[in-house]
Homo-oligomer: A and B are copies of this chain.
Amino acid sequence: MRENQHVFICSDAVGETAEAVVRAAMRQFAFTSGKLKRYGHIKHEDEVSAIVEEAARCNGVIAYTLVQPELHGMMREEALRKGVRAVDVLGPMMQAFVDTFDDTPKRLPGLNQTLDAEYFRKIEAMEFAVHYDDGKDIRGLMLADVVLIGVSRTSKTPLCIYLAHKGVRATNLPLVPEMRVPDELMKRRSGLIVGLTMDPDKLLSIRSERLNAMGLPQGSRYASRERIEQELAFASGIMHEIGCEVIDVTNKAIEETVGIILSRFPAERERRRVT
């Protein structure tokens, strides 16, 4: 995709779902400097028509999530009339539910952003992750659904944030040979503890970059092979003592590791999350 290639997102809600699909699809093409333009909270048919007009002028593509029948119909008609490719991101999925489950959709915009119990659980989980990050307050070790343990730079913080997005209260504790592991961790009776580990060479390069980014000189113990191996051995010992599952996060994207962690929750909890 090139400079002059435009993708329009058109939604009667926020447009997050359509944007997720557009970005994932874009990734399948060569490096893109294409322009993405998002129109949310569409209310009137003439707004739809104006967006199709704009897309037609610059030979762009449209991705839309319009659940209101008039707006949806207008998009189909106008796109056809003006020869613009417009992809219905939600429609086929909704139709599959209608056909298979014999249910009727509400066709109300913004339901994905409903301020319901699930939404507030997510927000609360985010505040939890921020508040208890990095073992700052060890009470978090008792309160969390999942505790991640590992040496510095094994992606503990972003993992907790991503887990919060799934409604899971996650906290993390850095493992450092010089620091005693709090009793609170050992005393956890319920919930999950997950150890994170990483290839020492990879960790070395991440820590070196980290020093660079912070404008600190290289050659510190923090980013030495010897120290890293010592830390990893210590961490591995603790994980073994606890008997927790250990995930090797080398070359794993956060989303992948989150997927593994979520799959370890009891099925009952998983079901509750889904509803």
By a beta-carbon cutoff of 8 Å, the part of chain A in contact with chain B is: 1-2, 5, 14-17, 20-36, 38, 40, 59-61, 63, 65, 67, 85-90, 92-94, 96-97, 99-101, 103-108, 110-115, 119, 123-124, 126-127, 129-130, 133, 155, 157-158, 161, 164, 213, 251, 253-256, 259, 271, 274-275
Contact = CB atoms under 8 A, between A and B. Distances in A.
A87 B251 CA distance: 30
A127 B157 contact: yes
A107 B28 contact: yes
Given A1-B101, A28-B108, A30-B106, 9 more contacts: A14-B256, A14-B259, A21-B93, A22-B93, A24-B93, A28-B94, A33-B271, A123-B155, A161-B161
As for how many copies of this chain the complex holds, the number is 2
A123 B1 contact: no
14 contacts: A1-B97, A1-B103, A5-B101, A16-B255, A21-B21, A25-B94, A28-B94, A28-B105, A28-B106, A33-B275, A61-B101, A63-B93, A126-B161, A129-B130
Contact of A30 (B1, B103, B254): B103
Given A92-B87, A126-B161, A130-B130, A97 B33 contact: no
Nearest to A55: B100
A270 to B, nearest CB: 8
B158 A29 contact: no
A253 B113 contact: yes
Contacts of A112: 23-24, 27
Contacts of A93: 21-22, 24-25, 63, 87, 89
B89 A21 contact: yes
A106 B29 contact: yes
A99 B1 CA distance: 12
